[in-house]
Structure 1
């Protein structure tokens, strides 16, 4: 292995030119790949009409991307260690843009699904690889600020994805949802070739943990798929949920045992990640991600089903969340570097909780302004939480453990978001069944009922589910409060 690293030249804001260039490249490349996880959601009906196929089949356009994304994430640590971060960044963005172009040219639903899987392989590696590069370059003194940068794409995706998808569907063909990626990714490729330093930290003899791949990759895919099936409301999907989640849990547990047993060469070396800081920060991030994805699913659903808003109008209700997050995210990383991130993460959770509690009081006649104010409050808290928890997860870890920590954190976020989606779906389904007997908890079926009290009953189901989301947020405070204080020697002047 070869490793050379110049000391960073820190400027007035603590960000040297090399780190700034690296951040630009990461955001340029990652933002479109993360957006693609949500942008296609609004096009499901259009794809079904154009290809003349069922919505359950078209759903695999989304599911295929998600599963490929989940299976690719565990490979990032080894691939960076073997080939270098710059090389893997270029390869990943090349795979993603190739998949995007092919998706736009797809001539049938099977080809579109296949090309979406190709997209997911590239997209699944891009954000973790970028996060690794930033974490290595920043060091502990600037970790909060770089995590603020790397959180931008993940924060914008759920907000901008449905909006951008709605605009494209209103004015253009669905194929432009994929073609729009090409110029952005081409720009990211050019920027990477010009700005990224050549790989100096890699090991040509790093062996691939085949057993680990065979256990973890399909295990994560089974978990994510099973959780995505939760709440669909049929005995068949319920059986798929139980089988997939059980099989996934067994495979992931087997991987953990395998990784802890072998001395070195595991796909993800779990032993350095047993620190209190990593386990508590990522535990809090897992629970918080579940709650946040629950909010971002419930708000558009409520707008579309109860209020009768269009997909674009429903998407606009999430926009204030992005605005609020951008406001606090711009300072949260710097504050975390200077004072430690735990207090700001706790404050962020309480801010998000206040916004969710406001949503428990909405009704069929609630104005858009009230919902948007609540989402703005959620965004203010979100901008504090994500960067702080990500930066604290690296606290005390050696530089060599950064790839494993990045991979592990991204896996937990992916599974946490799927967990949140599943919990919300199941709770909402049960609430609808209780409020409107005879609907089996099916949301479209309940919405089609024309009784005068149907909107009120549906609203009650939604508000009850928001209370459960609030409970998950409260539970996330326990691991966050258990995060150790940052050691005194890392309390340096962040300026």
Structure 2
């Protein structure tokens, strides 16, 4: 009888991922849905903060330059650590790192909401960013490993849609939460959603089959440090260049540090037996060019997304609430087309949708060059929608080409690099657009705050020309890339006792 009891207790022991999910023929879609929760939350928290900053200014009685660090701390953390956590995931497994990341994200969010001072809020945003980095560094890798090759593009497209939804809904959700419950609620809302996401990750995500266990005792800490410093210096230079002046000593110092630490990182990776980023990966054509075009595409998207609200407010004299709403056709277009583009890539390969998508996005940006104070609002909305549609058609097959050409034991670091490229493209696109805009207006001896309509329109026109060049370069590269030779990966639908 005692023996029977032992058997029963053993059978009752929870086993993860649950067989209830792994035994289903469509198990991989449960994995995709789970990953989309993390992708959505991480993207949402990157955009939701924008509407809260004025309230935070008043709450802590600080100026805009100080509160901007609440947003910047998250972005810096995310970009600087993506490659490192991607590499760690290759060593210890994507499943545990993703689940732990969700837990850190929850704790960081709760602490942000409870922060009594601005300094603590910025510090806890770094903690929250670490959790978000662990989610983003693993999301595409988990999808790539778990989803059969024939529908991989569609799955990556759905994950991309989750990112787009998070980015687009962030300001709207943030505005509602702040209006009803105050600014702290934008952080507290992450807690219940995060708990659900963590539980689902534990119950559903597959066990990793491909780990680089040889690197576990020889992790490249110095390489991680050098890369992080280089990226942080670069982003600080970009973000503060418009305010401090591109020729100021501090900005020049940031870019000198960027180059210096990047060179040191390169030589560290060459000599290390288990480098943070295997430089041999860059010999894979699709991986290298896919990251470059991905970065350029996000430069287009964010260059447009961040400059257009100023056009709505300063030229068309729309209220800020309306300008935010009028920019949503861009992320909506991306959200609607991403899954469709993934299916096209699965059937025809990556080249056709990447070329088509970047062509549409570039045409949408070119259309914006011709807007002025008499332009019909519908024309601008359609142009923005075209940029979003182009991004939606381009991004999933481009990401699929990168991940599909990556060796199985490097999926984590490749996913981290892909997301890092996106963050860099985002930062470069914003800084590039504002630098052109401000520079053109200065030629007319005005500043953006006091410029009349004529110089403002000239500033917008040349900004969109500059952003369209990014799109044209990405289109040219995509046109001469071949189709990816996808790496066939076994499904990681394995059960293990936790």
Equivalent in the alignment of 2:316: 307
Out of 67, 72, 81, the position equivalent to 2:76 is 67
Match runs of 1:205-244 below 5 Å: 206=216, 207-232=218-243, 234-235=244-245, 238-244=248-254
**Counterpart residue number, 1:333:** 342
Between 1:185-194 and 1:55-64, the stretch displaced more is 185-194
Structure 1 residue 26: deviation in Å?
A: 0.5
User: How big is each residue's C-alpha offset from its partner over 1:391-424, in whole Å with a ceiling of 9 and x where there is no partner?
Assistant: 1123443212222321222222221221111211
Match of 2:474 in 1: 476
Runs of 4+ in 1 over 6 A off after TM superposition: none
Q: Secondary structure at the match of 1:446?
A: coil
Would you say 1:184 and 2:193 are equivalent positions? yes
Matches within 5 A, 1:74-153: 74-138=83-147, 140-153=149-162
Q: Does structure 2 retain, via aligned residues, the 8 Å contact 1:219–1:247?
A: yes
Does structure 1 retain, via aligned residues, the 8 Å contact 2:47–2:170? yes
Q: CA deviation at 1:364?
A: 2.2
2:440 is aligned with 1:446 = no
Specify which of 367, 386, 391 is matched with residue 395 of structure 2: 386
Residue 295 (structure 1) shift: 0.6
Q: CA deviation at 1:182?
A: 1.6
> 1:229 is paired with a residue of what secondary structure?
helix
Residue from 254, 276, 283 that aligns with 2:264:
254
Separation in 2, partners of 1:322, 1:396: 28
> Could you say which residue in structure 1 is the equivalent of 2:17?
none
CA contact (8 A) 2:235 2:427 kept: yes
Instruction: Provide the aligned length of Structure 1 versus Structure 2.
Output: 467
Gaps (5+ residues) in structure 2?
1-20, 489-498
Aligned to 2:354: 345
Q: Paired residue for 1:162?
A: 171
1:164-190 CA distance string (max 9 Å, x none): 223333443111111121222122112
Partner of 2:277: 268
1:95-152 deviation per Cα after TM superposition (whole angstroms, max 9, x unaligned):
1111111111111111111111111111122112121111112354433122212212
Question: Is residue 292 of structure 2 the alignment partner of residue 283 of structure 1?
Answer: yes
- Any idea what the Cα deviations from partners look like across 1:221-261, whole Å, max 9, x if unmatched? 111121111222x3498433222122123212321232133
Give 1:36 shift. Answer: 1.0
Provide the TM-score with structure 2 as the length reference.
Answer: 0.88
Are the counterparts in 2 of residues 364 and 456 from structure 1 also a CA contact under 8 Å?
Answer: no
Which residue among 455, 459, 464 is the counterpart of 2:457?
A: 459
User: Partners of 1:37 and 1:294 in 2: how far apart?
Assistant: 16
Which digits, 9 at most, give the CA deviation of each residue in 1:444-464, with x for residues without a partner?
x325xxxxxx12331221122
Segment drifting more, 205-214 vs 193-202? 193-202
Residue 320 of structure 1 is matched in structure 2 by 329
Aligned equivalents of 2:126, 2:211: Cα separation in 1? 28
C-alpha distance 168-75 of structure 1, shift in aligned 2 (>3 A): same
Aligned to 2:11: none
Q: Could you tell me how far apart the structure 2 residues matched to 1:164 and 1:318 are?
A: 15
SS, match of residue 231 in structure 1: helix
* 8 A contact 2:91–2:211 mirrored in 1: yes
For 1:410 and 1:244, locate their aligned partners in 2 and report how far apart those are by CA, in whole Å: 22
Q: Structure 1 pair 379/116, CA: closer, same or farther in 2 (3 Å)?
A: same
Correspondence for 1:4 = none
How far apart, in 1, do the equivalents of 2:249 and 2:174 lie?
32
C-alpha contact 2:46 2:71 (8 A) present in aligned 1:
yes
CA distance in 2, matches of 1:56, 1:377: 34
Instruction: Say whether the 8 Å CA contact 1:35–1:153 is kept in structure 2.
Output: no
- 157-166 or 332-341, which deviates more: 157-166
C-alpha distance in 2 between matches for 1:10 and 1:38: 34
Deviations 1:287-308 (A, max 9, x none): 1111111011111122233333
Residue 197 of structure 1 corresponds to 206
The superposition leaves residues 325-359 of structure 1 with CA deviations (integer Å, 9 ceiling, x where unpaired) of 23321211111011111121111111112211221
Bigger relative contact order (CA 8 A; separation at least 6): 2
What does the per-residue CA deviation read over 1:28-72, in whole Å, with 9 as the maximum and x for residues that have no partner? 122111111111112222111111112111111111111111222
State whether residues 108 and 125 of structure 2, in contact with CA within 8 Å, keep that contact through their aligned partners in structure 1.
yes
